[in-house]
Amino acid sequence: MTGGVDRANVIRVKSVSLAAVVLAGALVSAPAGATPVFSCEYEFVTWPGSFSAELTITNNGPAISSWRVSWTFRAATTQSAAWQAKLSQRTPYDMTATNLPWNGGIGTGQVRTFGWTAFAVTTETPDDITVNGVPC
């Protein structure tokens, strides 16, 4: 245990999508075996009743000028604080993060990381993360 955080609870997950890319409002399927449009790395640390998480987005597709990330928690969660993004919740389960005015652009091969702290009885890596509507 270091600084009150049980390092055994640090989890690193990488997710990728071979699904679709949203370009100019049209949904275009990626060819089989193509590089995923976005890849995401979700990391979190838990402690009793709370957690801290970060999500790193890598853009493997064309440059984008803004981003919106959505996901669902399995347990009711209340957002406490956020950095590098604006977070909003429609319900205690649904979370959305959007870029700030100065960090919306993600060029090809570039990354953006944002994070938050929240209150929840339990948490785990969401399995439905999307970036601009594209599974990550």
Ranges of residues in the chain with a pLDDT under 50 are 1-29
**Cα 48 from chain centroid?**
22
pLDDT at 33: 61
DSSP string, 56-69: EEEE-SS-BS--EE
Q: Which residue has the tokens 């959305």?
A: 96
pLDDT at 6: 43
pLDDT at 11: 36
- With CA atoms as reference, report the closest residue to 43 among 129, 124, 136: 124
Rounded CA separation 42/54 (Å): 6
pLDDT at 84: 98
What three-state secondary structure class fits 83?
Answer: strand
102 secondary structure, DSSP code = T
pLDDT at 36: 80
